[in-house]
Chain A
Amino acid sequence: MPVVELPEATDGQLIVRIAGGDRRAFDELYGRYARAVLGLALRRLGDRGRAEDATQEAFVAIWRSARTYDPTRGRGGAWLYAVARNAITDGLRRTPEPVGELVDGPGREPDPADEAESSWSAWRVHRALEVLPSHERPVIELAYWKGLSQSEIADRLQIPLGTVKTRTRSALSRLADALDGELR
């Protein structure tokens, strides 16, 4: 009998299942979003330890707030972003970062609107990376964040240069599809 592959549940479907107390759905969502939430917390807090605590609180908030998700009002990814961002902000208020020395001069803080846009963009990209198959993800990571050339990636992964190029194109195309779909 042929194996039928079930379509992957959307984020929104997982949130609805979590609202019903489905622990497996929560684990699935955690796998998809752990990096994105931690990345958001790191951008906001800067410190890994505080960011991990904030990430934990964000997932607690997601679990507790799942019943408030209304699929007719927007996609799951956007709802998750809002809940996580609010939880991280609340955590920041409860445990403000230690006060350091004040530095005179022009403010170094980014414009809030720009910061919000870049955080949202990074959130979507980090979430989209989770859709890449295991053989494509390393070529992206090595090219973009390790600074390796295509030839160096081929050496590192011990695959032909042509395969690196094929996988890179395929991965970028897959990411484009995921981002075009605005992370259902």
Chain B
Amino acid sequence: MPDFDDLVGSDLDPAERARLERVHELLVAAGPPPEPPAVVLPFRSRRRRRGALLAVAAALAVAAFAIGAAVGNHSAGRSVDFVVSMNGTASAPSASASLTVYELDSAGNWPMRMDVAGLAPRSGRRPFELWLTRNGRLAALCGSFVTNTGGTANVPLNAPYRFDEYDGWVVVEEGTKTPLLATSI
């Protein structure tokens, strides 16, 4: 714990000194704040139907997405419905990712967890974004994340959408439309 007198000196007005000392005590008691999660979540108010998950599973299979078939797997008490592999595009050929989609939660969202490798931060150090696509266009944002200098990240994401309205996923750098990672069709 730092010494309060060392921090503020001895020439303070007594009232001001008491005010700052109270803050000092609160800081010591509170301890350091944690580094925040990297993800900013998007939300939509629309409710999703459970049946949509089956539709997207079928769509993903038809599109030859690499589904890890992890049904029955569990993480933090949740059942895994399927796992989607993503490959680096020509813009990020070393990148790869695995997107684990869990069962629909009670709030009507599909929690997901994304493991990313080989995707080093770009020069602008803007976050990356995971999007659902439709007909070759970015259609619905699933969340944003940052990678460490080694190009890896393991981040929770959220898909509050009906999957059967989309045909794939891509990762882009925030503010751009160039896919860096994409589900392979």
Q: How many A-B residue pairs have CB under 8 A?
A: 110
Q: Which residue of A lies closest to B106 (CB)?
A: A94
Q: Does B9 have its Cβ within 8 Å of any Cβ on chain A?
A: yes
Chain A residues with Cβ under 8 A from B26's Cβ? Answer: 121, 124-125, 179
Name the contact of B34 in the complex, choosing from A27, A38, A49, A118 (C-beta under 8 A).
A38
Give the distance in Å from the alpha carbon of A58 to the alpha carbon of B76 in the complex.
Answer: 16
- Interface on chain A toward B: helix, strand, loop, or mixed SS? helix
Are B76 and A172 neighbours in the complex by a CB distance under 8 Å? no
Q: Which residue of B lies closest to A130 (CB)?
A: B33
CB distance from B26 to the nearest CB of A (A): 5
Segment touching B, from A4-12, A73-81, A144-152: A144-152
Chain B residues with Cβ under 8 A from A118's Cβ? Answer: 29
Q: Which residue of A lies closest to B113 (CB)?
A: A53
Are B27 and A63 neighbours in the complex by a CB distance under 8 Å? no
Q: A121 with B41: in contact, given A38-B36, A60-B107, A143-B7 (CB under 8 Å)?
A: no
Are A126 and B33 neighbours in the complex by a CB distance under 8 Å? yes
Are A50 and B2 neighbours in the complex by a CB distance under 8 Å? no
- Interface on chain B toward A: helix, strand, loop, or mixed SS? loop
Chain B residues with Cβ under 8 A from A49's Cβ? Answer: 76
Q: Does B14 have its Cβ within 8 Å of any Cβ on chain A?
A: no
Chain B residues with a Cβ closer than 8 Å to the other chain, count: 38
Q: What is the 8 Å Cβ interface bit string for chain B, positions 6-43, against chain A (1 contact, 0 not)?
A: 11110010001001101110111111111111011111
Are B33 and A36 neighbours in the complex by a CB distance under 8 Å? yes
Give the distance in Å from the alpha carbon of A48 to the alpha carbon of B16 in the complex.
Answer: 38
Are B37 and A144 neighbours in the complex by a CB distance under 8 Å? no
Chain A residues with Cβ under 8 A from B77's Cβ? Answer: 94-95
Residues in chain B within 8 A of chain A (CB atoms):
1-2, 6-9, 12, 16, 19-20, 22-24, 26-37, 39-43, 45, 76-77, 107, 109, 111, 156, 158
